[in-house]
Structure 1
Amino acid sequence: MNRDMEGANMAKRLEDKVGIITGGGTGIGRGVAEMLAREGCRVVVAGRRQAPLDETVAAIVGSGGEARALSTDVTVESQVQALVEGAVETYGGLDLVISNAGLYPRMELPELTEEVWDLTVDVNLKGHYMIARHCIPRLQTRGGGSIVFVGSVHGYMGGSDVLAYASAKGGLWTMTRNLARTYARDQITVNYINPGWVASEGEVVHRREPGSPDEWL
């Protein structure tokens, strides 16, 4: 099969499917949303900041895809419920979910306040639970589907300055395995992926040496 034919077939792999991508305004989330749209998926991108979401939607629509943006804080159940209902009302159902929203503070234990701990765990663990809780019934109605949680190697390796983040991702890993075992009976797959390093906005700021250009990354 030549590349053009292969690309055309892949572009139809998700035709008429409906997907939700949280953290869809930047970084991994935006990249995944654009990729899914290229393969025919109708996507709903969610995140706390409206402007990046609108940029993602504009890029997808400009390339011939279908997309909608819904501002959502995944730690607030009413907003997650509205997100899922909005996706179903707009596109008629739900087939796949990329649960990607995350928060990555870096500080060692002496600087790690209770406030930062709670926020980090809320976003990186509770937020994924909220997504699963409201999306799984919709996937069951559809006769099956897929949830992908974006995890981290820190979830089982840890790190000196990522205690709260690593703890939450470790909990997410366990939650993923539990949900996968529970909902396999409903033809719902639940997976946890560990992306490599990505030059997202936050990472570029964090890793750039003082006075150095982005190219050094």
Structure 2
Amino acid sequence: MRLEDRVAIITGAGRGIGRAIAEGYAREGARVAVADLDAATAEDAAAAIRAAGGEAIAVTMDVTNEEAVDDGVQRVIDTWGRLDIAVANAGVQHIEALDKLSLAEWRKVTAVHLDGAFLLTRAALRRMYQGGGGTLLYMGSVHSMEASPLKAPYVAAKHGLLGLCRAVAKEGAEHGVRSHIICPGFVRTPLVEKQIPEQARELGLSEEEVVRNVMLKNTVDGEFTTVEDISRLAVDLAAFPSAALTGQSVIVSHGWHMG
């Protein structure tokens, strides 16, 4: 098992990409903390991992709350005595034109993605520095590399995560900490499912046209990226044995963006 005896925490792990990563880590031998804003969703994911023979706990966490993030990471330490992998995956989306966008909606999206990633990073680094190293992974997007209409706060936040990842790679190196940002194309998660009718309304298209002509238009094969694709990559990056690979953005998008 490639992650045997490692301890990981994944935010937004109650469902979607985060849950797939948590399950993938557990299959590879990691002990996993499933962190999510929704306590019941987190416990359901953790219970599924335990039922499959893995080791997992559920952690209720609002990633925009400093105390909640610090307490959640401390619970991992109290339970397993260490932290080797932290994945900043929690995210939200808001579809609206910039000229209509409220400051409150801007702040909501950027707070979850950027503030949440910073708070997890800081709490994790404090433990990893003491423990001799670790890996920070960030869930970016093709929107870390380019932009789409109606998604300004999301695009800005995902670009910001790219910078945070690179800063961690530089600062963490002397402490044995590596970092990477995974940049998926569209993955058919609940977050994306919610966007389809929203974009259809904003753009005056059918939902089928949004999928075909907006979301998947620039892929090489008209296919969605899957949660299994992302989970597999997250395992590969966490298991890589040296700082030969750090500070990297890895794009998983069926050729939508080629970096």
TM-score by length of 1: 0.88
Q: How far off is 1:210 after superposition?
A: 6.5
**Structure 2 residue 131 is matched with structure 1 residue 139:** no
Q: Residues 94-114 of structure 1, C-alpha deviation per residue, up to 9 Å, x if partnerless?
A: 000111001111111122101
Q: How does 1:28-47 map to 2 (within 5 A)?
A: 28-47=17-36
Q: How does 1:9-24 map to 2 (within 5 A)?
A: 12-24=1-13
**Structure 2 residue 146 is matched with structure 1 residue 157:** yes
Contact 2:95 2:195 in 1 (8 A): no
Q: Residues 158-188 of structure 1, C-alpha deviation per residue, up to 9 Å, x if partnerless?
A: 1111101111111111111111111111110
Structure 1 unaligned runs (5+)? 1-11, 212-216
Q: How far off is 1:47 after superposition?
A: 1.1
Partner residue in 1 for 2:52 = 63
**Structure 2 residue 189 is matched with structure 1 residue 203:** no
**Structure 2 residue 131 is matched with structure 1 residue 169:** no
Distance in 2 between residues matched to 1:178 and 1:80, nearest whole Å: 20
Contact 2:110 2:157 in 1 (8 A): yes
Distance in 1 between residues matched to 2:181 and 2:122, nearest whole Å: 16
Contact 2:43 2:58 in 1 (8 A): yes
Partner residue in 2 for 1:180 = 169
Partner residue in 2 for 1:214 = none
Distance in 2 between residues matched to 1:197 and 1:55, nearest whole Å: 25
Q: How far off is 1:153 after superposition?
A: 1.5
Contact 2:144 2:155 in 1 (8 A): yes
Instruction: Provide the secondary structure at the position in 1 that maps to 2:8.
Output: strand
Question: RMSD of the alignment, in Å?
Answer: 1.5
Identity %: 36
Distance in 1 between residues matched to 2:36 and 2:30, nearest whole Å: 19
Partner residue in 2 for 1:74 = 63
Distance in 2 between residues matched to 1:90 and 1:110, nearest whole Å: 48
Q: How does 1:96-111 map to 2 (within 5 A)?
A: 96-111=85-100
Partner residue in 1 for 2:229 = none
Q: Residues 53-83 of structure 1, C-alpha deviation per residue, up to 9 Å, x if partnerless?
A: 1111111001000000111001110000001
Q: Which amino acid aligns with 2:28?
A: E
TM-score by length of 2: 0.75
Contact 2:12 2:90 in 1 (8 A): yes
Distance in 1 between residues matched to 2:132 and 2:30, nearest whole Å: 17
Structure 2 unaligned runs (5+)? 198-205, 209-223, 225-259
Q: How does 1:94-133 map to 2 (within 5 A)?
A: 94-133=83-122
Partner residue in 2 for 1:189 = 178
